[in-house]
Amino acid sequence: MKKYVFGADLGGTTVKLGFFRTDGALLNQWEIPTVKEEGGRQIIPDIGKSLLAFMQRENIPMEEVEGIGLDVPGAVSREGLVLTGVNIGWEGEKDAASELSAITDLPVVCANDANAAALGEQWMGSGKNTENLIMVTLGTGVGAGVIIGGRILAGAHGSAGEVGHTALFPELQEKCGCGNTGCFEQLCSARGMMRTAAKYAPSGSIDGVPLEKLNPKEIFTAAGKGNTLCAEIVAEYAANLGRGLAVFASILDPEVILIGGGISHAGEALLIPVREAYRKHVFYPAADTPIIRASLGNNAGIYGCARLVLTQR
């Protein structure tokens, strides 16, 4: 194995770039803007240019670099083709890995961003020393990645692990952003929590504060200070989340379930009721599966991208 590997985490606003030793040590990291204009045609050339400039500046020989791992916010086929990239301006299929490889003259492996983040946590984060895990990211939406045997489970169409669009709540009639109804994301994302808040506060406010001026962090804080209404919102949110995790665990039987994203910052105030709800619904052999916070934060993607190269050797 060579000494170094790069990770490139492609987001809607910036591209996070990381330079690693192949033993997992992060040696350097930086960001460049994601230029989505003109169909995002400059994104891959910008990444290549930045990586080559870094290698030249730091005197990194090409022959000492194992390759580049690239993740994208969209579905990626088993062959590494980006199937959807609308959030970054791309339309239709795109062979981003081959394009970046042609620019840098290095091997490139491509994956979905949520899958890469899960792989990063399994390598150097809260999932270290495990081979099988589920990571669920709770933010504006719900993302997830599944690692089986130390490798990403991508599925036949690159959509394995899309737990946010699992139809768990048939009582919901409003359409999700994916076009379906009843999706896990509709109740278990940050928007989902505020949707639940609206049910408990039909007046449109909590203690005189309009719901549109509140967010999940403030709901958790108020619940912790004894606000009964906010405590009820948190309880229902945790019950829905725990139920969903139980379904996924009953199918995949992971060693650990990791929770990331903004809502995870609530810590044990979230995780304690989630674990209780999970145990009520999961198939009993998996009742004691640990549910803990992810630890790499915004760096999970670059770690996962670097690891992706090494698992594809």
Tell me if 4-121+298-311 shares its fold with 129-295.
yes
Distance of CA 116 to CAs 122, 215, 241, Å? 10, 27, 22
Query: Would you state the torsion angle of the CA atoms of residues 78, 83, 87, 89, taken in this order, to the nearest 10 degrees?
Result: 130
Give the pLDDT band (50/70/90) at residue 213: very high
pTM strictly above 0.85: yes
DSSP-derived 3-state class of residue 276: helix
Average pLDDT over residues 51-57: 98
Give the pLDDT band (50/70/90) at residue 199: very high
Average pLDDT over residues 271-276: 98
Average pLDDT over residues 108-117: 94
At how many degrees (to 10) do helices 268-281 and 216-224 cross?
A: 90
Average pLDDT over residues 253-265: 96
CATH class of this structure's domain 4-121+298-311: alpha beta
Are 190 and 218 within 8 A, CB to CB? no
Does residue 160 carry a pLDDT above 90?
Answer: no
Token couple for 57: 């500046």
DSSP-derived 3-state class of residue 100: helix
Q: pLDDT at position 75, please?
A: 86
CATH label, 129-295, candidates 3.40.50.720, 3.30.420.40, 3.30.70.920, 3.40.50.970: 3.30.420.40
Task: Delimit the domains of the chain by residue range.
Answer: 4-121+298-311, 129-295
What is the residue type of 238?
A
- What DSSP designation does 62 have? G
Average pLDDT over residues 272-283: 98
The rounded mean pLDDT for the chain is: 94
Does residue 177 carry a pLDDT above 80?
Answer: yes
Average pLDDT over residues 156-172: 88
Q: pLDDT at position 215, please?
A: 94
Longest dimension (CA), the chain: 65
Distance CA(312)–CA(68), nearest Å, equals 11
Distance CA(239)–CA(245), nearest Å, equals 10
Distance CA(282)–CA(103), nearest Å, equals 48
Distance CA(237)–CA(252), nearest Å, equals 23
Are 263 and 139 within 8 A, CB to CB? yes
Q: pLDDT at position 24, please?
A: 97
